[in-house]
Chain A
Amino acid sequence: MSEYTKPLPKPTATSRPFWDAAKRHELMLQRCSGCNAFIYYPRDRCPHCLSDQLRWQPVSGHGKVHSYTVVRRASTRSFADKPYVLAIVELEEGPRMTTNVEAPPESMKVGMPVTVWFDDVTPERTLVKFKPA
């Protein structure tokens, strides 16, 4: 197996539950107890109401491609091996995520439904990606 050379997330005390859930192949988001908003990416306080009462909650993993691009010429060497689909997925629960969609570039469409897919890129780390639903 070739070594994984792309950047990896370094979980913090704030974000560790998100990455630990991903490793278990679960999608968990924070939810604000103050204003009930779902939050992505993980924060110490709700960006809507600044409450620090945030709890972790599993979410559906269903969403739609809000927009995407096919990166044919990457700006860093670690992504230059082949074209890849970079996307913004809007989850059913509201938040948007920067992610990759595992699909042929020519099949991509704004608005297409997608479902979460967990990519175990290294033994320690799992990235949250999506596939066509």
Chain B
Amino acid sequence: MSLKGKAAAIGIAELKPWKEAPSEVTPLKLMGQLTAEALADAGLEKKDLDGFLVGMPFADPGMIYPASAAEVLGINACMLNVVDIGGASPAGMIWRAAAAIDAGLCNAVLCIVADLNRLGDQKVPVVSVQREFEAPYGNIGANCGYAMIAHRHMYEYGTTPEQMAKIAVDQRTNALKNPLATFNDKPLTIKDVLNSRMIVDPLHIFEIVSPCSGGSAVIVASPEIAKRSKNPPVWLLGAGEYANHASITYAPSLTESPIRPAADTAFKMAGVERKDIDLVCPYDCYTITVLVTLEDAGFCKKGQGGPFAMEHNLTYAGDFPCNTHGGQLSFGQPGLGGGMSHVTEGIRQLMGRGDGRQVKDASLAYVNGNGGIMSEQVALILERRS
């Protein structure tokens, strides 16, 4: 069994994130706009959609969410679900869509996320064990866990703050060419990052995503539909998923993430090598996330993520293009739209729609989705066939 070449992404839509969304905006309103734009981009009509995968918005959560959202959008679906694996949800939607298509259940699946950064009215349900054994000590939110991963990585491998900062710097260079990015007005230097405010040692504010509002959508379709798409289809070649913890405290290792088995599965399915990849789109809630991903996805040796980041040019024009949209660090994190931004960028680049940041002759992209504290991992390999 394999999903290799069984489905393709044929249309995308993505909003420029707002720091503060206008008060009349709701997640469902954004989903309406994104659905219309993604359909127009793919050259499909609403009636062509028969699968619906959606992310639960923090700003408007609820039970039986998929049917409620599909009803608002007027979508009749043969398969509908919330995908709830944190920031890995968008990447996880892509292979689930392909699997449903391969199983003959669907022909065109809408994968959609939209959310608002409405602090104050968030009622995020937290699992009881985390309320009992994490929150009393102040292990709340994601910053702390990633900071502890970074310290442990520095201890085990000698990784330096400069090496982590370099990732934010190169991604900012990419963002300068992305009109949708939140932070695209001025370049960053390593010194800027290291002089920025320390939030959770050793992570500075420029190494931490900025929450915002927005959303994005991808339409995944069967080969038959892909053939009549307006866009060059971007085929799913390989996919893998793995998780082995929720709180980083109880992970088998702080520095060796579940990315490795996910990536190995994806590369094996795709039948391609790491060296064949033209660009990588690793989830980047923090700089350390990218560094660990490059190691565990197999692009460099374990522990060498820091030197690798220093030795390679991670910009769209460089020898190792990485998060050519700027990553979430520069794009912003509109809820799950942050995770989807890596998927849409991979697709955009392979469709040849990278504009001022187009990676030359890009035909293979590696996308990584990451949830929680290096918990749920999804690896995707996407291909544009010449």
Contact = CB atoms under 8 A, between A and B. Distances in A.
Contact of A7 (B131, B199, B247): B131
Interface stretch (B99-107, B142-150, B275-283, B376-384): B142-150
Interface stretch (B132-140, B161-169, B313-321, B331-339): B132-140
A12 B137 CA distance: 18
Contact of B132 (A6, A10, A84, A105): A10
B363 to A, nearest CB: 40
A34 interface: no
Interface string A81-123: 0001011100000001111100001000011000000000000
Contacts of B147: 69, 71
Interface stretch (B59-67, B248-256, B294-302): B248-256
Contacts of A10: 128, 131-132
A64 to B, nearest CB: 11
B198 A98 contact: no
Contacts of A111: 155
Nearest to B203: A69
A74 B136 contact: no
A54 to B, nearest CB: 15
A100 B80 CA distance: 43
Given A72-B200, A98-B133, A67 B144 contact: no
Contact of B201 (A7, A70, A129): A70
A105 to B, nearest CB: 7
Given A12-B132, A41-B133, A105-B201, A74 B138 contact: yes
Which 6 A-B residue pairs are closest in the complex by CB-CB distance? A69-B147, A75-B141, A110-B155, A67-B148, A67-B152, A7-B135
Nearest to A84: B138
- Chain B at the A interface: mostly helix, strand, loop or mixed? helix
Given A41-B129, A86-B137, A127-B137, A67 B200 contact: no
Contacts, number: 98
6 contacts: A8-B136, A10-B131, A66-B254, A76-B141, A84-B138, A98-B133
Nearest to A75: B141
B78 to A, nearest CB: 36
Nearest to A88: B249
Chain A contact residues (Cβ within 8 angstroms of B): what range?
35 or more
A67 B155 contact: yes
B96 interface: no
B interface bracket (residues with beta carbon within 8 Å of A): 20 to 34
A68 B249 CA distance: 11
Nearest to A111: B155
Interface of A: 6-12, 15, 41, 66-76, 79, 84, 86-88, 96-100, 105, 110-111, 127, 129
Given A69-B148, A69-B201, A86-B144, A100 B137 contact: yes
Contacts of A76: 140-141
Contacts of B200: 69-73
Interface string B174-202: 00000000000000000000000111111
A129 to B, nearest CB: 8
Contacts of A70: 200-201
Nearest to B151: A67
Given A96-B249, A99-B137, 18 more contacts: A9-B136, A10-B132, A12-B128, A67-B152, A67-B155, A69-B148, A69-B200, A69-B203, A72-B200, A75-B140, A76-B141, A88-B254, A96-B250, A98-B133, A98-B249, A105-B201, A110-B151, A127-B136
Interface in B193-227: 197-203
B123 to A, nearest CB: 14
Contact of B151 (A69, A127, A129): A69
Contact of A68 (B131, B134, B148): B148
Nearest to B147: A69
A93 to B, nearest CB: 15
Nearest to A71: B200
A106 B135 CA distance: 24
A98 B247 contact: yes
Contact of A9 (B133, B139, B151, B201): B133
Contacts of A98: 133-134, 137, 139, 247, 249
B138 A66 contact: no
Nearest to B248: A88
Contacts of B134: 98
B249 A73 contact: no
